[in-house]
Structure 1
Amino acid sequence: MPTLVRTDDVRRQNTRSIIQVLRRHGSVSRTEIVEHTGLSPATVSTITSTLITDGLLLSRSEQGQSQDTVNRRGRPRVTLALNPQIGCIVVMVMSINKLTAWLQDYSGQVLAKADDHFESRSATTDDFEHYLLRMVTRLMSQQNGHPIPLRYISLGVQGVVDAGGQTMLWSPMTTLLNLPLGEMLHKAFNVPVWVANDSNMAAEALHWQDSQRFGDDFAAIILSSGIGMGLVLKGKRFIGRQSSAAEFGHMVHAMQEGALCRCGQYGCVEAYVGDYAIWRRVSGLPETSPPVNEIDPMAMIDLARRAHEHEGVEREAYREAGRALGKALRSLFALIDPITIAFIGGGVRAFDLMEPEIRKALRHNGNMLEASDVNLYCYEDSQALIHLGCAMTTLQTLDRTLGVSE
């Protein structure tokens, strides 16, 4: 049967497209919006006029801004931009012993940044609440002149989050379970709060940055102190029935007498690929020895350098990590078919040592689809991607609360 398209649905989609252009390019003209979106000039004019009336867009004439403009005949160029005074958001990213945060206005402009170090493994529930609330208060106090009202808070965390985006169910950064982080922040600041898995947010960022490469079906795998996955299928971020799911790092690599994972189980992929696993192997410690809580990033950089310089235990540790990743991807592809993969984080410094083992495993994937030719990409700065994913997802959610794309 033919699909019926409602006028309201079309208008919402067109509005989202226009808002997206403004967030990507800042101040642009209606003509430029037409070029970027492919919408008709009449449609762009109608929608932007409504958004201006509602106070969500600012219109500015560039007449008199430059000598070229003064000398140019005809009507002055008029540009449109998102109104930053609509509100601001706080975006936080929390990992082992670290909390980083940004204050951004409605247009996406960063107004302030801050970070904090705390002993997350020994922190109590009250400690988590203290650090989170102090961070938001600290950022809001850095506004100059007329403060912009806080509209939304988002928090990307290293760990498993409930499907509703409010509770951190489990995380390697703490021994505590079921931390109600969303409730803590909402109670203190009376704004909507969203808690998200960091790998899912990295996937959102990749889609935002390069939807041609990372479109309807791909995965973002974080290689750092932990191993996480953000999975996108059919254009939608995969979320489990109860949790953020896609715990790629806790798929089974070794069935019997495997290495000890930070989650407490044995044989997980992470127990062979995570920073602590590489460090444990190079240090000559037994596989069953407890994972170290935190490793100096410079130590991991030096370890990767030694692995590149000569044959030895360092290089073999990365090869073993590649075998574990390849085996896990082979199992994943058996379920969903081969997809594009982005590897993110400090672990990609030695990806060239892991890749041959990954591709070797994929050549024996056991199905008719050629998984060994799958596209693999690397991005070292995981923090920037997680932040971008949190920010853009939060701003798009804020659009809906303001009725922009309802």
Structure 2
Amino acid sequence: MALPSTDTSRLDNTLAVIRTLRDQGSVARIDLGALNGISSATVTSISAELLQQGLITERPPETPRPTGRGRPKTLIELDPNAACVVCIKLSINEIQLVVGDFSGQVRHSEHHAVPTLTLSADDLEALLEEKISTVCAQQLKGFQRLAGICLAVQGVVSSQSGTIIWSPALSFRNAPISTRLAERFHCSVLLENDANCIASVLAAQPAYADCPNLVVIMLGYGIGMSVLINGVPFLGANGSAAEFGHSKYQPDGALCACGRRGCIEAYTSDYALYRAAADHLALPSGDSAHPSEQQMQALTQLALKGDPTAQRIYAEAGRALGFGIANVLALFNPDLVLITGSGVRGFDAMQAAMHTAIDDALVAELMGTTRIEHCAWDRDMTCMGGITMALNATDAQTLLDSQTAREA
């Protein structure tokens, strides 16, 4: 929207209206005002502009009230085809591409098996360009514009510079990736840590609305964490903050995928659990360095059914996790620590040792009122978070583009 640089409140109000519609779907104008603390006149003016620009649509009025009193409310909603974003999740030997519409819903998803560890930085850039180009050609018909791209990566990334610093999915380090993609596709490109994408989805859920200071720990092939302070992700100087999995549990201990020893990840991740079990238990065949879900389910079931070796391995994982959480509680004093990710399949086998370790590490005063909970991993929230983050980052540009197109 072509707004004077001094009219920031108007832009802020417009963005608030768009994001409320994205979060809640169809809403009446009067309710938008109440939800955002905006006058009815301002909401009416903003919605008129958004209608003209093709960013929202009106739904038929609600059913008339039985009393016949008062006009039924007319609901407005985002036009899902006004813009779209593409989110790419990069993980070990796989990339997933998802198209999200302007309302934040997934319109297309595809997976590709890729030997990521064999790629150079140039190979990865070329591959991403190829896959995004194909998705754009095949799936973006009907959308008014491609607003942005989000690349969600396991590991350490710098969102500010668009650089993948280190990822267990890749054999190279310190590769700038965003600039080339932005130039190729003429849109904003966000580079995000996958745990931050997941945390953004969870933080928006009503169940956690009272937890502005939220820590999300993701268990899976690796161990990730996102720290939200007053609702804002804490990234650190170069984006490497909150690397929980690579904080130390035992100096000179088990080997971690990062190349160092004794990290929490070296005891609690899927590859660490399977590595500790492979020589002692009969497990499904496969790549022991990158265990499949079938392999991990088999190991988890052994622990849950009482196999002493499997129970010992999961107890050690829970102990490492617990001492790590104790450090998080002492450093950040969050409202809630929420544990999720595919690795929560084994949480029941870990949690007793985890809680014992926390109690051993902390006096009660440092534990405070912080809650520790786990969240089922019944859907992969990475791309959903990437879609929302990309849309929120590009809404202002979408407003400007739509205003320019209307005036052309």
How high is the TM-score relative to the length of structure 2? 0.86
In the alignment, is residue 245 of structure 1 matched against residue 241 of structure 2?
yes
Residue pair 1:156, 1:197 contacting (<8 A) in 2 also: yes
Secondary structure, in 3 states, of the residue corresponding to 2:365? coil
Secondary structure, in 3 states, of the residue corresponding to 1:369? helix
Residue pair 1:159, 1:170 contacting (<8 A) in 2 also: yes
Aligned residues: 388
Between 37-46 and 309-318, report the one with greater CA deviation. 37-46
Q: Which residue of 1 aligns with 2:131?
A: 135
Unaligned runs of 5+ in 2: 1-5, 281-286, 401-408
In the alignment, is residue 199 of structure 1 matched against residue 195 of structure 2?
yes
Q: Of 327, 333, 340, which residue of structure 2 is paired with 1:337?
A: 333
Alpha-carbon shift at residue 101 of structure 1 (Å): 1.3
Between 327-336 and 89-98, report the one with greater CA deviation. 327-336
Q: Which residue of 1 aligns with 2:29?
A: 30
Any idea what the Cα deviations from partners look like across 1:163-204, whole Å, max 9, x if unmatched? 415111101111111222212312321211011100111111
Q: Of 84, 92, 96, which residue of structure 2 is paired with 1:96?
A: 92
Any idea what the Cα deviations from partners look like across 1:276-309, whole Å, max 9, x if unmatched? 1100111238xxxxx9541111110111111101
Q: Of 209, 217, 224, which residue of structure 2 is paired with 1:221?
A: 217
| Distance of aligned partners of 1:132 and 1:338 in 2 relative to their CA distance in 1, 3 Å threshold | same
Q: Which residue of 1 aligns with 2:307?
A: 311
Q: Which amino acid aligns with 2:308?
A: G
Secondary structure, in 3 states, of the residue corresponding to 2:338? strand
Secondary structure, in 3 states, of the residue corresponding to 1:254? coil
Q: Which residue of 1 aligns with 2:284?
A: none
Q: Which residue of 1 aligns with 2:18?
A: 19
| Distance of aligned partners of 1:33 and 1:147 in 2 relative to their CA distance in 1, 3 Å threshold | closer
| Distance of aligned partners of 1:214 and 1:260 in 2 relative to their CA distance in 1, 3 Å threshold | farther
| Distance of aligned partners of 1:375 and 1:213 in 2 relative to their CA distance in 1, 3 Å threshold | farther
In the alignment, is residue 182 of structure 1 matched against residue 200 of structure 2?
no
Residue pair 2:55, 2:79 contacting (<8 A) in 1 also: yes
Alpha-carbon shift at residue 38 of structure 1 (Å): 5.6
Q: Which residue of 1 aligns with 2:76?
A: 80
Identity, % of aligned positions:
32
Q: Which amino acid aligns with 1:166?
A: G
Structure-2 separation of matches of 1:402 and 1:296: 41
Q: Which residue of 1 aligns with 2:322?
A: 326
Answer 1 or 2: higher relative contact order, Cα 8 Å, separation at least 6: 2
Alpha-carbon shift at residue 152 of structure 1 (Å): 0.5
Q: Of 91, 105, 108, which residue of structure 2 is paired with 1:109?
A: 105
How high is the TM-score relative to the length of structure 1? 0.86
Between 378-387 and 104-113, report the one with greater CA deviation. 378-387
Structure-1 separation of matches of 2:362 and 2:338: 23
Any idea what the Cα deviations from partners look like across 1:64-102, whole Å, max 9, x if unmatched? xx8x79x97875642212133432110111111111111
Alpha-carbon shift at residue 211 of structure 1 (Å): 6.6
Residue pair 1:88, 1:104 contacting (<8 A) in 2 also: yes
Alpha-carbon shift at residue 56 of structure 1 (Å): 2.5
Structure-1 separation of matches of 2:188 and 2:390: 10
In the alignment, is residue 49 of structure 1 matched against residue 48 of structure 2?
yes
Secondary structure, in 3 states, of the residue corresponding to 1:130? helix
Q: Of 199, 206, 213, which residue of structure 2 is paired with 1:210?
A: 206
Alpha-carbon shift at residue 332 of structure 1 (Å): 2.2
Alpha-carbon shift at residue 111 of structure 1 (Å): 2.4
In the alignment, is residue 59 of structure 1 matched against residue 58 of structure 2?
yes
Alpha-carbon shift at residue 339 of structure 1 (Å): 3.9
How well do the aligned residues superpose, as a CA RMSD in angstroms?
2.8
Q: Of 253, 261, 273, which residue of structure 1 is paired with 2:268?
A: 273
Residue pair 2:84, 2:147 contacting (<8 A) in 1 also: yes
